[in-house]
Amino acid sequence: MRALRGALLLIGVGFGLWGLWLMRDFTGAQLISIGTWFGGAVVLHDAILAPLTVILGVVAARHLPGHFRASTATAFLLWATLTVVFIPVLSGQGGKPDNATILGRPYLLSWIVMTVVIAAVAAILALRRRQTVEGQV
């Protein structure tokens, strides 16, 4: 296990160094933009996403039956990750008025469909777990 962790650490450090190497020709404005995105991601996670996930988890733990808790927690985590990934396209960042093809897909509809899929799979898994638990009693 120790060798595997060491190998994964070396691979991760290697990819990080490669990424830095690829950034060697970036302008100051590009580096500031990258720093802003990284800082924004930390703030978004620590100030909004993590507390909201904890609050939803506490509410779910208090009000949902036991067989729903694991799938609900997983669904919250997947949905939060999906939402963070979709934020740039849902907000229209990167779009250009003179090129409608850059953000020319129905991103809001895609986000809604994926949200429904996550909820449906979580519900199905919770119901299957309930049947399994009731069958063992």
Nearest to 41 by CA among 80, 14, 90: 80
Residues 6 or more apart in contact with residue 92 via CB below 8 angstroms: 103
Instruction: Decide if pLDDT at 23 tops 90.
Output: yes
DSSP classification of residue 94: T
Helix (H, G, I), strand (E, B) or coil at 96: strand
Phi, psi of 40 (to 5 degrees): -60, -40
Residue 96, pLDDT > 70, answer yes
- 102 band by pLDDT with thresholds 50, 70 and 90: confident
CB contact at 8 A, 60 and 68: yes
Write out pLDDT tens, residues 27-80.
999 999 989 988 988 888 889 888 887 888 788 878 888 888 888 888 988 988
Check residue 90 and give its pLDDT.
Answer: 84
Supply the mean pLDDT for the chain: 87
Domains of the chain by residue range = 28-136
What single letter denotes the amino acid at residue 70? A
What is the pLDDT, as a whole number, of residue 24?
Answer: 92
Residue 26 neighbours by CB under 8 Å, 6+ apart: 34
Query: Would you state the pLDDT for residue 104?
Result: 78
